[in-house]
A and B are shown apart, each in its own frame.
Chain A
């Protein structure tokens, strides 16, 4: 097992796993606290449209996916801020239309035999240096945002109506959270795939929620828990030659069940 650590792709995978986990801990906490889980799911699936556009036009995948996911996030922000009814319909619509665009564009790309499964279930073992730079930059940006605006974000997440009364620009922070969620979804797709993104963003948070007494500690604890899950999942994936995304999510889900069982027994 230890000799595996000397391979560069394994090192990259481990670094990516931990980076994405820490980011997911922070952003996942915000998504759960703001009750945006379904919304984030919509963005994750819509992001496939970006993958299709990137493949079709030949621009880098991360770039295409990020732009498309952010556009989807802005659209959702616009819809949810201006109209509280029928939000579900719009989320479902974005979810499906994004995927449809992706599938058709991949069909239309001549000679391209895309490995659809690697986007659906992740390809963490194929992470390269550029991917790591992208993830690292996002991590730094998120740390800056959280440091400078922690209290505003806390206020908006806990009670947005009251936050607005206190003069906080709720729409700005709501949109900011959605954009960061979109970018997080894009990098999490690399690790667990778009179908499983939501599980990675929410399972560690559900556990951390019970163990924390502040938003900050929830972010930190979810990040650490997610790192442990990803690393263990990665180890299973490598040892038994199974799909990494699925094995990470199963490790997470089983741990969640164990945690719930233990907290019931207490």
Chain B
């Protein structure tokens, strides 16, 4: 680990989890450090979203522990900005992009009808940060998948989090859109820790600082060895590469 001087922002110890009887995650141990760009990969149903939801306290802890910024999840939940896997929910819902952003944590305490000036101002700044300021007053359902994802990132940034956690942020977006999202994350990574669940191998190579493979168990990958695999065999398809990553114990 080349950044071993920085402190751990998330520490997962001996974590196991089951929905009913089937064990979904088994004995997970994981440290994520400040300013990491951590990528979780693994097959569908491997338990990536389950781990994410455990970190957020959406799924209750059963066995093992998770510490975030040296505190329990409950105490430090406001330090995590979250972009859920499926943001294509409720597309008919009449709500403007800027209202979605203002749903971000910090602004929710005051719940009287209407929005305060500072809140609107802050939300506009965030929309500008993700390049969506022109769409502030568009209905969320009228935006493209990539645009909507940016709005969700702005919402996640609303409470000024130290950690940004994204669950497959680019799964329904075209390649150009994906690239833009990752460029944005790279920019944000200058200040905060980024954790992404992703299938896109291209991300691993260009943006990730660490890669973990999750399929019930978790194994770490050294980025440089993945790069080696790719440079050695010049036409390897992404699926094969993912499979190799699943098997090897590098």
A interface list, Cβ under 8 A from B: 33, 146-152, 154-155, 157-159, 161-168, 209, 212-215, 217-218
On whether the beta carbons of B94 and A154 are closer than 8 Å, the reply is: no
- Among candidates A159, A165, A209, residue contacting B89 with C-beta atoms closer than 8 Å: A159
Q: Tell me, in angstroms, the Cα distance from A212 to B38 when the chains sit together.
A: 40
Quick check: is B84 within 8 A (CB to CB) of the other chain?
yes
Contact B90 A159 (CB under 8 A): yes
Count of A-B contacts judged by CB separation below 8 Å? 75
**Stretch of B26-34, B104-112, B183-191, B192-200 at the chain-chain interface:** B104-112
Q: Which residues of B contact A209 (CB under 8 A)?
A: 92, 94
A162 lies within 8 A of B82 (CB): yes
User: Are the C-beta atoms of B94 and A167 separated by less than 8 Å?
Assistant: no
- B96-124 contact mask (Cβ, 8 Å, vs A): 1 or 0: 10011001110010111110000000000
Residues of B within 8 A of A166 (CB): 103-105, 108
CB of B94 within 8 A of CB of A150, answer: no
Query: Whole-angstrom distance from the CB of B95 to the nearest CB of chain A?
Result: 6
Of A150, A157, A218, the contact of B111 (CB 8 Å cutoff):
A150
Q: Which of A157, A158, A167, A168 is packed against the most chain B CB atoms within 10 Å?
A: A158
Of the candidates B77, B92, B99, the one whose C-beta lies within 8 Å of that of A165 is B77
Quick one: closest A residue to B89, CB to CB? A159
B: which residues have CB within 8 A of A? 56-58, 77, 82, 84, 89-90, 92-96, 99-100, 103-105, 108, 110-114, 137, 139, 155
Q: How far is the CA of A78 from the CA of B112 in the complex (A)?
A: 27
Q: Which residue of A lies closest to B113 (CB)?
A: A150
The contact of B108 among A161, A168, A213, A215, by CB within 8 Å, is A168
Establish whether residues A165 and B82, one from each chain, have CB atoms under 8 Å apart when the complex forms: yes
Give the distance in Å from the alpha carbon of A25 to the alpha carbon of B155 in the complex: 29
Whether B95 lies near A158 (C-beta < 8 A) is yes
The contact of B99 among A162, A168, A214, by CB within 8 Å, is A214
Are B103 and A164 touching (Cβ within 8 A)?
A: no
| Chain B residue contacts of A152, Cβ below 8 A | 108, 111
Question: With contacts A159-B89, A162-B103, A166-B103 known, is A151 near B94, CB below 8 A?
Answer: no
**Assembled-state Cα–Cα distance A147/B90 (Å):** 23
**Once the chains are docked, how many angstroms separate the CA of A100 from the CA of B103?**
44
CB-based contact B103/A167 at 8 Å = no
User: Could you tell me the distance between the alpha carbons of A105 and B180 in the complex, rounded to whole angstroms?
Assistant: 65
CB distance from A82 to the nearest CB of B (A): 14
Q: Which residues does chain A contribute within 8 Å of B104, judged by CB atoms?
A: 166
User: Which among A154, A165, A212, A215 has the highest number of chain B CB atoms within 10 Å?
Assistant: A165
Known contacts A155-B103, A167-B108; can you find 8 more A-B pairs with CB under 8 A?
A: A33-B90, A147-B113, A150-B111, A150-B114, A151-B108, A159-B103, A162-B82, A165-B105
Closest to A151 in B: B111
Q: Is the Cβ of B105 less than 8 Å from the Cβ of A213?
A: no
Residues of B within 8 A of A161 (CB): 58, 84
Q: How far is the CA of A23 from the CA of B5 in the complex (A)?
A: 60
The answer to whether A147 touches B112, judged by C-beta atoms less than 8 angstroms apart, is yes
B12 to chain A minimum Cβ distance, whole angstroms, is 19
Q: Which residue of B lies closest to A212 (CB)?
A: B94
Assess the A158–B103 pair: CB atoms within 8 A: yes
Which A residues lie within 8 Å of B100 (CB)?
A: 158
A33 to B139, CA, bound (A): 15
Closest 9 CB pairs of A and B: A212-B94, A151-B111, A150-B113, A166-B105, A218-B94, A166-B108, A152-B111, A155-B103, A147-B113
Q: Residues of B contacting A218 with CB < 8 Å?
A: 94
Contact B112 A213, beta carbon cutoff 8 Å:
no
| Complex alpha-carbon distance, A213 and B137, angstroms | 8
A161 CA / B155 CA spacing, docked (Å)? 14
Chain A to chain B contacts (Cβ below 8 Å), 12 pairs: A33-B90, A33-B93, A151-B103, A151-B108, A154-B95, A154-B103, A155-B103, A158-B100, A158-B103, A162-B155, A213-B95, A213-B139
A158 to chain B: which residues have CB within 8 Å?
90, 93, 95, 100, 103
Q: Say yes or no: B56 contacts A165, CB within 8 Å.
A: yes
Bound complex: CA of A214 vs CA of B32, how far in Å?
A: 39
